[in-house]
Amino acid sequence: MLPIEEVDHWPDMSDDLTSHLFYVARMIARAQHRAFKCRRVGLVIAGYEIPHCHLHLIPTNSMDDFDFHRAAQNVPETDLQSAADKIIEALGELKQGI
């Protein structure tokens, strides 16, 4: 379950919300790592482009992947769905390994 609680700046989150977000982020990062065979999954806490705290989990092979200006602007829905399917499949595999 993902929280639906608007917090403008991440240090203002409650301890419970912070723990929950990082628990979920870690699960998704593990699935991304498995699904996309990347070197690392980076985490960025932003909040400028949308006026509330949110986490970006970025499958990455180099620091260049953290440059938001280089991100694709128009990704076909089929590509997004394919990526989501890979993550969902990896989450299922990881859950079975628990």
Residues in the chain: 98
Residue 92 included in any domain:
yes
Convert the pLDDT of each residue in 2-59 to its tens digit.
567 788 889 999 999 899 999 999 999 999 999 999 999 999 997 777 778 889 999 9
Res 90: pLDDT: 97
Has residue 14 been placed in a domain?
A: yes
Residue 29 within any structural domain of the chain? yes
Range of the domain at 23: 10-96
Give the chain's domain count.
Answer: 1
Question: Is 4 among the domain residues?
Answer: no
Instruction: Determine the Cα–Cα distance for residues 82 and 70; give it in Å rounded to an integer.
Output: 21
The verdict on residue 76 lying in a domain is yes
Is the residue at 5 inside a domain? no
Answer whether 61's CB lies under 8 Å from 38's CB. yes
> Does any domain span residue 34?
yes
* Domain containing residue 57: CATH number: 3.30.428.10
**Any domain includes 2:** no
Residues pairing with 42 in the sheet: 58
Residue 98's pLDDT is: 55
77 vs 61: CA distance, rounded Å? 24
